[in-house]
């Protein structure tokens, strides 16, 4: 009997220890959720400033020394403000397919921001910008002045609403010439009166698209091999990438930025929109990729 009481006492003690451990574990697991809830309750202010600002991002000629490439002068940037609290501002920039987060502070008296990128990339820097109505203006300064060629850039952006619309098409007055991709072709001066060759010269040739880029919509119509088999390569590249442009994709390749920047509806907001594509768009993109692989470019002489 004494032995049985000992066993029962030991069992009760074990259950009490297990119960305490379980209770302690449950308290430890719920603590992060409580902290997270408190963080999410931080009051947000100036929500009217939230949104995407899009426009030119170019060298500050009064500060930088040296020459500038044409590419430096035509870049555009998307600047998105996601959240503003009393102590912090959160957002991101998207430039040439490169998406960078930033965090900083708001000066409420001047509607101006000091916003810093993470600093773990040599191209990171600080935005010193001010909101004026529906515009955002200011400068960007590189953190590492020795790592980049352009040390300061100016921003002049306008607030734009991003909307996905499968009906969006390139404007009919879009320049159909791809000015960023070209090749040199050797041409002959012909023959003289005696039938002798007068030599050769080289001429610059650009890729060009046809009117198909204004009529074929890969976000709305199911494409067939018949639709694509006679199209030049550039046409199919533009038709495919129009799918991504409608979803706000920021292109790394200058060719596609050149085409879609000509349309007011194009607002790049992300460097990855794969999850946003519809089943029809995914199917059409796969078909276009097959044909693009074997398609040929159409070229025309400079000055077409």
Q: What is the pLDDT of residues 127-150, one digit of tens each?
A: 999 999 999 999 999 999 898 888
| Mean pLDDT score, 279-293 | 97
More confident residue, 162 or 189: 162
**pLDDT top residue among 117 and 303:** 117
Q: What pLDDT is stored for residue 206 in this prediction? A: 82
Helix (H) or strand (E) holding 125: strand 125-132
Span 196-217, average pLDDT:
81
* pLDDT value for 241: 98
Reported as a pLDDT band with limits 50, 70 and 90, residue 225 is very high
Instruction: Give the whole-number percent of the chain exceeding pLDDT 90.
Output: 59
**Per-residue model confidence (pLDDT) at position 149:** 82
Contacts 24+ apart (CB under 8 A), 56-59: 56/154, 56/155, 56/156, 56/157, 57/95, 57/140, 57/153, 57/154, 57/155, 58/153, 58/154, 59/150, 59/152, 59/153, 59/154
Helices (H), 167-278: 225-228, 233-246, 254-260
Within a 13 Å sphere around the CA of 20, how many CA atoms are in the beta-carbon half? Answer: 6
Fold held by 47-160? Porin (2.40.160)
Write out the DSSP string of 3-59.
HHHHHHHHHHHHHHHHHHHHHHHHHHHHHHHHHHHHHHTSPB--GGG-EEEEEEEEE
CA distance linking residue 301 with residue 304, whole number of Å: 6
Specify whether the CB–CB gap between 153 and 59 falls below 8 A.
yes
Q: Determine the Cα angle at 250 with ends 83 and 160, to 5°.
A: 50
Q: Could you tell me which residue, 205 or 64, shows the higher pLDDT?
A: 205
Q: How many CB atoms lie within 10 A of CB 29?
A: 9
The mean pLDDT value of the chain amounts to 82
pLDDT band at 30 (very low <50, low <70, confident <90, very high): very low
CA-based end-to-end distance of the chain:
108
Distances (CA, A) of 178 to 181, 241, 261: 6, 14, 13
Residue 58's pLDDT is what? 86
How far, in Å, CA of 22 to CA of 34, rounded?
Answer: 19
Across residues 158-183, what is the average pLDDT? 90
pLDDT, position 74: 56
**Is the pTM above the cut of 0.85?**
no
Apex 254 CA angle, 250 and 257, nearest 5: 45
pLDDT mean over 160-187: 85
Residue 246 scores a pLDDT above 80: yes
User: What pLDDT is attached to residue 303?
Assistant: 42
State the average pLDDT over residues 97-113.
Answer: 95
User: Could you state, in order of their start, the residue ranges of all structural domains in the chain?
Assistant: 47-160, 177-301
118 φ/ψ angles, rounded to the nearest 5 degrees: -55, -35
**Contact call for residues 93 and 271 (beta carbons, < 8 A):** no
Q: What is the mean pLDDT of residues 269-277?
A: 95
């Amino acid at each position: 009997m004494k032995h049985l009481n000992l066993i029962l006492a030991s069992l009760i003690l074990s259950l009490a220890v297990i119960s305490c451990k379980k209770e302690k574990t449950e308290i430890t697991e719920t603590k992060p959720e409580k902290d997270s809830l408190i963080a999410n309750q931080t009051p947000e202010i100036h929500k009217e400033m939230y949104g995407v600002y899009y426009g030119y991002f170019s060298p500050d000629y009064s500060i930088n020394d040296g020459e500038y490439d044409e590419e430096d002068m035509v870049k555009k940037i998307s600047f998105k403000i996601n959240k503003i609290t009393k102590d912090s501002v959160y957002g991101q920039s998207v430039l040439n397919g490169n998406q960078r987060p930033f965090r900083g502070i708001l000066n409420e008296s001047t509607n101006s921001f000091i916003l810093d990128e993470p600093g773990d990339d040599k191209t990171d820097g600080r935005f010193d910008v001010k909101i004026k109505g529906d515009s955002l203006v200011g400068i960007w300064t590189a953190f590492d002045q020795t790592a980049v060629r352009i040390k300061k850039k100016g921003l002049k952006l306008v607030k734009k609403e991003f909307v996905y619309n499968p009906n969006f098409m390139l404007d009919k007055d879009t320049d159909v010439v791809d000015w960023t991709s070209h090749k040199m072709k050797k041409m002959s001066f012909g023959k003289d009166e005696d039938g002798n060759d007068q030599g050769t010269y080289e001429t610059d040739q650009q890729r060009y698209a046809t009117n198909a880029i204004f009529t074929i919509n890969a976000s709305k119509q199911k494409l067939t091999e018949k639709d694509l088999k006679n199209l030049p390569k550039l046409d199919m590249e533009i038709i495919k990438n129009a799918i991504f442009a409608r979803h706000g994709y920021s292109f790394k390749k200058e060719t596609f930025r050149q085409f879609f920047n000509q349309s007011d509806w194009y607002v790049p907001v992300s460097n990855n929109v794969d999850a946003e594509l519809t089943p029809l768009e995914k199917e059409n993109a796969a078909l276009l990729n097959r044909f693009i692989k074997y398609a040929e470019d159409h070229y025309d002489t400079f000055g077409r």
